[in-house]
Structure 1
Amino acid sequence: MTSHSRIKIPAGFWTGLNQLGIASHDVVRKARLPLTIITEPDVTTAQYLAIWQAYSDLIDDNAKGIIELMSGFETAHYPPSVLATYHARDYRDALKRMARYKQLCPPESLRIIEEGENCTIELDWLDIDQPGPPLLVGITLAFLLELGRRGTGKPLTPRSVEFTQAMGDVQVLEAYFGCRIQIGANCNRLKLHREDLDLPFASYNSELLEILTPVLDQSLNEQQRSRSITGMVKWITKRSLTGGRPDIQTVASELGMSDRTLQRRLSEEGTNFNHLLTQVRHEQAREYLADPSLDIKEVAFLIGYEDQNSFYRAFRLWEGDTPSNWRNEHLGTHSLNRHYLKEYNFSHEVKTGEK
């Protein structure tokens, strides 16, 4: 985990906790942090996660804590980046602004996918190696729904909600979200009815947006300029690989720039998009192959290859060997005994790719 990143604490955060009967100093002591942090404008990533974990430890149940914080946190306490979403034109505009301006306040990152009748929002993490505290995950997804409910004034319900970790009383969460809750999923995600995204916001305020948007965009652009564009592209590409090939237009859009601007920025850093895509696939292939719980067919899918033979050909170019041989050499036969039959069957199915 990196702890050098600074995260702004909303001015109303501690007030909101106090209104729920959770004393600020109790949270800080539980997190083993100095009391002076309550008045600090921002904290490190490690401190931020410690605060959320401490809050989780002080309540009886994560599910109840999520709902209490969502229901009790007043709109007036929203920071400017969130106000820009609350006063958006419609739910779609609000979610896009949320995903964009979330970059100003890591460690969470949002990915929005509109497909068919669904809009799926996936939660990922910046700068940390492990998933964030379950309470923070639940708060983040619940807020995305709460944003739609408050903005439209309608009791919106999602299609489904998925969490990777236990979240407390699932029945309490299902009553709040109004849909099925899945625990133990491979990703934290909120799946909405796509038609709900067209609902206008009663809280739409064009004058306020004209003030907030340029300021937030400038802050975001300054932040992006201070980072390596290569690193940002690799990170976005990495989390967009599964089951497909991310293109430069998609990545550029997520960064809030045109594909021509992105190409120019990458060129200035001595690289290009296709090279980074190949590099990310290679790095991820090695990482996934080091996990014996994944069979090679799954690895191919996870790095964006629908055709396993194409994955075999690409891997031989990268490593000069097949995925199966590379795995055997780097993991040893002992750790692969329980997966041997699965690997053998798959290798037989795609033996043309091994030639």
Structure 2
Amino acid sequence: MTAADRFRISSLLPGRLAEQKLALPALLRRAGLPATFFQQEKIHATTAELFALWRAVGEISPDPGIGLKLGAEPRMERYHPAAVAAVCSRTYRDALQRMARYKQLTCPEEIQITASGDEATVNFIYHEAKEDEPEVLIDMALAWIFSVGRRGTDGQVTPLRLELKRPVRNRELLEAHFGCRVKFKAGRNALVLRKTDLDRPFVTHNEELLSAIGAQLENELEARANSADLGEQVKRTLKRSLAGRRPVLTDIAQELGMSTRTLQRRLGDAEITFQQVVEDTRRELACHYLKQSGVELNGVAFLLGYEDANSFFRAFQVWEGTSPGEWRTRQRAEVA
């Protein structure tokens, strides 16, 4: 898991899935995830793991509307602070902008809001995705966007249409939930709204609560940006010092002019570990060195600070799903 591909999963999710009559052990097995996945103190997943989890939900659940139900959570106490801030916003536009901004705190997923003519479109972009999004995840995300608008305007928002890439399936269920027609086999997964609906005031607007939560979230964003800068500093330092040396936190902290404890704490603030930065750095450098024809595979292992070539080969297999030699051969063939 690289620092850039990390979804923070709510600790409430296991309970919500159990409420939907899903057996968590069977779900995790189906998704190919560890049995202890939900037992982590802070639950994190890569995009691939997230997709595997939600695909398994869709395969195991007998309810075709499970994503819609999870996305339309009516209980405020189950909302993430960013969702509370959205409901307390001034208008639907304000709410969507806050949702998009604060999404950065939990994942590398982007909420994209675009306007054209009389229409406004909301869709989700998964920057690290290598496959199509699971249908349950799409349903849940778009239902969440819709539910915030309905709740904030006291039911005044009705979408123009729902666009889905999937083939025709469960039309009546989806149209009943969103109150609009569904266009299947579309080029995107998106909720299309009337642009005028974005300026509807929220009856749930709470300036005092919004200010308090907004200040907290803005502080988190600032801390995250600072920590991300620190992560890049650690990466640059590692790139200068890896060759022939096993990466040691104490050495990197010393080079950055801070104590080991301070570096650990600041990386923790960004919810990344030193080992994750090391792996991310090694992966980037491995691909760089393998593209250089003059560097032998054993030499690449040395330059990355591995004690032996086999350790490098095993790590690379995990990163890229193939051996360093096969990866190099494929790269050469693509260039030729």
Q: Which amino acid in structure 1 is aligned with residue 60 of structure 2?
A: L
3-state SS of 1:35 partner? coil
1:243-273 CA distance string (max 9 Å, x none): xxxxxxxxxxxxxxxxxxxxxxxxxxxxxxx
1:54 aligns with 2:65: no
Distance (Å, rounded) in 2 between the aligned partners of 1:204 and 1:4: 34
**Normalising by the residue count of structure 1, what TM-score does the alignment of the two structures yield?**
0.59
Distance 1:2 1:138, change over 3 A: farther
The answer to whether the Cα contact below 8 Å between 1:90 and 1:199 also exists between their aligned partners in 2 is yes
Write out aligned runs for 1:145-156 (5 A).
145-156=146-157
3-state SS of 1:150 partner? helix
The answer to whether the Cα contact below 8 Å between 1:119 and 1:191 also exists between their aligned partners in 2 is yes
Equivalent residue, structure 1, for 2:285: none
Q: Which amino acid in structure 1 is aligned with residue 89 of structure 2?
A: A
1:25: Cα distance to partner? 3.1
The answer to whether the Cα contact below 8 Å between 1:125 and 1:131 also exists between their aligned partners in 2 is no
Distance (Å, rounded) in 2 between the aligned partners of 1:134 and 1:224: 32
1:141 aligns with 2:113: no
Distance (Å, rounded) in 1 between the aligned partners of 2:118 and 2:70: 30
Equivalent residue, structure 1, for 2:38: 38
The answer to whether the Cα contact below 8 Å between 2:165 and 2:189 also exists between their aligned partners in 1 is yes
**Normalising by the residue count of structure 2, what TM-score does the alignment of the two structures yield?**
0.62
The CA RMSD over aligned residues, in Å, is: 2.7
Distance (Å, rounded) in 1 between the aligned partners of 2:160 and 2:7: 32
The answer to whether the Cα contact below 8 Å between 2:72 and 2:140 also exists between their aligned partners in 1 is no
Unaligned regions of 5+ residues in structure 2, if any?
Answer: 233-333
1:147: Cα distance to partner? 0.8
1:132: Cα distance to partner? 1.9
- More contact order relative to length (CA 8 Å, sep ≥ 6): 2
Q: Which amino acid in structure 2 is aligned with residue 143 of structure 1?
A: W
Percent of aligned positions that are identical: 33
1:135-170 CA distance string (max 9 Å, x none): 111211111011111122115210111112247412
Q: Which amino acid in structure 2 is aligned with residue 27 of structure 1?
A: L
Equivalent residue, structure 1, for 2:185: 184
Distance (Å, rounded) in 2 between the aligned partners of 1:115 and 1:218: 33
3-state SS of 2:208 partner? helix
Q: Number of paired residues?
A: 231
Distance 1:104 1:162, change over 3 A: same
Distance (Å, rounded) in 1 between the aligned partners of 2:74 and 2:12: 8
1:41-94 CA distance string (max 9 Å, x none): 2212132222211111112354x1222323455332111122111211221111
Equivalent residue, structure 2, for 1:221: 222
Equivalent residue, structure 1, for 2:75: 74
3-state SS of 1:122 partner? strand
The answer to whether the Cα contact below 8 Å between 2:162 and 2:190 also exists between their aligned partners in 1 is yes
Distance (Å, rounded) in 2 between the aligned partners of 1:115 and 1:151: 23
The answer to whether the Cα contact below 8 Å between 2:168 and 2:185 also exists between their aligned partners in 1 is no
3-state SS of 1:202 partner? coil
Q: 181-190 vs 40-49, which deviates more?
A: 40-49
1:163-199 CA distance string (max 9 Å, x none): 1224741221011111111122112211111222222
1:220: Cα distance to partner? 2.1
Q: Which amino acid in structure 2 is aligned with residue 126 of structure 1?
A: H
Q: Which amino acid in structure 2 is aligned with residue 213 of structure 1?
A: G
Distance (Å, rounded) in 2 between the aligned partners of 1:105 and 1:54: 22
Equivalent residue, structure 2, for 1:10: 10
1:219: Cα distance to partner? 2.1
Distance (Å, rounded) in 1 between the aligned partners of 2:159 and 2:43: 33
Distance (Å, rounded) in 1 between the aligned partners of 2:191 and 2:120: 8
Distance (Å, rounded) in 2 between the aligned partners of 1:167 and 1:77: 32
Distance 1:203 1:209, change over 3 A: same
1:30: Cα distance to partner? 2.2
Write out aligned runs for 1:89-238 (5 A).
89-166=90-167, 168-227=169-228
Q: Which amino acid in structure 2 is aligned with residue 105 of structure 1?
A: T
Q: 23-32 vs 152-161, which deviates more?
A: 23-32
The answer to whether the Cα contact below 8 Å between 1:2 and 1:128 also exists between their aligned partners in 2 is no
1:35: Cα distance to partner? 2.9
